[in-house]
Amino acid sequence: MSDSPAIRVEGLTHSYGERVALDSVDFAVKRQGIFGFLGPNGGGKTTLFSILSTLLPIQRGCVSALGFDVGRQSREYRQQIGVAFQSPSLDRRLTVLENLVHQGELYGLTGQRLRDVADTLLQRFDLTDRATDIVDTLSGGLKRRVELAKCLMHRPALLLLDEPSTGLDPGARHDLWTHLERLRADEGVTVVLTTHLMEEAERCDELALLDLGRIVAQGSPLELRSTVPGECLTIVAERPEELGPRITAELQVDVQRIGESLRIQQANGEQLFEGLLQRYGDEIRSLSLGRPTLEDVFMLRTGRRFAEDLSA
């Protein structure tokens, strides 16, 4: 039974009136893994997250998780999951400890046992000296830590995190991932998260790329990247808006502009690398050659750029 997937979803469809947010989605999440949903905003991540966390009812399809039918046995399922929302679900007028105690009681913990669990988690997340601070006075990174501690009060077997890195600085982001990896290794917790950040997606064991309510690709980051042939060139230039069109015109290659840099995906990457250096060496600040990224996977599967969707 422990080989059976932590979550199995079949034919899940959800619509808001006319708008279809999820269109017949199928996937399975292995136990004790870190599973990520990567996609642009509006791709259906939030809807999927809300269904998995039981905030939205299942309209059509089948969702079973931890051996429960999520639609029918929501109470038993809720007891086993920990949910961390994008904006921390903390009561900002209560202290850190009060938040934890409150959460523990909602899940049936009382007395000495409740105090012990709270103390252990405060220690683990380095919050002991913050226990009596009002949540409102904490920084974003600290709040996220409290939120994570809060979700773990009842020892969930499945942890659901919605955009866990949003609003975190790189240090806090690193800490968060250290905690997630430790949870998975030490306690065998299954982690499911949504993200629109490539570097975060890279750290997942398995990924599903979600776009316009459909899963366009699924697999480990390595497997996904290996589906894109060739190499990728990244150019950082003084004037990318000028250089891009010139390269396209003169070398007949497709150039994409992402922020301040230019990207070219090409089968004969190394040859092109030499050529670019010779021709435009003076205008290029840096040039790198690498294997395709998840962004390239997304572009290959959807024909659109990920970053474009983000700003839209």
Partner 1 sequence: MSQSVEHQSDPVETGVASLGVDAVLRPSMWLTVWTLSRREIVRFLRQRSRLIGALATPIMFWVLFGAGLHESFQAPGWAAGEMSYREFFLPGITALILMFTAIFSAMSIIEDRHEGFLQGVLVSPASRPAIVLGKVLGGTFMAVVQALGFVMLGWLLAVGGVAEEMQISLSAGGVFGLIVFMTLLAFGLTALGFMLAWKLDSIQGFHAIMNLFLMPMWLLSGSFFPAAETGFLSVIMQLNPLTYGVAGIRQLLYTGSSEVLIQQANGGLASLTVCFGATAVFALVTFCGAVSSCRSARVR
- Is 173 within 8 Å of 144 (Cβ atoms)? no
**Shortest distance (Å) from residue 145 CB to partner 1:** 16
How far is the C-alpha of 22 from the C-alpha of 108, rounded, in Å? 34
Tell me which stretch binds partner 1 (CB under 8 A): 63-71, 193-201, 255-263, 277-285: 63-71
Q: Give the CA angle between residues 258, 232, 289 to the nearest 5°.
A: 105
How far CA 279 is from CA of 51, 271, 287, in Å, comes to: 53, 13, 13
- Indicate whether 110 belongs to the interface with partner 1 (CB under 8 A): yes
Q: Which is nearer to partner 1, 91 or 283 (CB)?
A: 91
> For partner 1, which stretch binds (CB under 8 A), given 108-116, 172-180, 210-218, 277-285?
108-116
Say whether residue 103 binds partner 1 (CB under 8 A).
yes
Taking each continuous run of H as one helix and of E as one strand, the counts in the chain are 12, 14
Q: Which of 9, 40, 45, 53 touches partner 1 (CB under 8 A)?
A: 53
**Is 277 one of the binding residues for partner 1 (CB under 8 A)?**
no
**What is the closest distance, in whole angstroms, from the C-beta atom of residue 88 to partner 1 in the complex?**
6
Beta-bridge partners for 257? 262
Q: Does 117 bind partner 1 (CB under 8 A)?
A: yes
Binder to partner 1 among 66, 97, 217, 247 (CB under 8 A)? 66
Q: Give the phi and the psi of residue 73 in degrees, each rounded to 5.
A: -110, 45
Site string for partner 1, 214-253 (x = CB under 8 A): ----------------------------------------
Q: Which residue has the tokens 């990457």?
A: 269
Does 55 bind partner 1 (CB under 8 A)? Our answer is: yes
Cβ distance 176 to 164 under 8 Å? yes
The C-alpha atoms of residue 214 and residue 23 are separated, in whole angstroms, by 6
Specify whether the CB–CB gap between 228 and 297 falls below 8 A: yes
How far is C-alpha 202 from the geometric centre of its chain's CA atoms? 9
Per rule CB under 8 A, count of chain residues that contact partner 1: 52
> Binding to partner 1 by residue 92, rule CB under 8 A?
yes
Q: In the complex, which residues of this chain contact partner 1 (CB under 8 A)?
A: 1-2, 31-32, 46, 50, 53-57, 66-68, 75-76, 78-79, 81, 83, 85-94, 98, 101-103, 105-110, 113, 116-117, 120, 150, 154-155, 157, 186-189
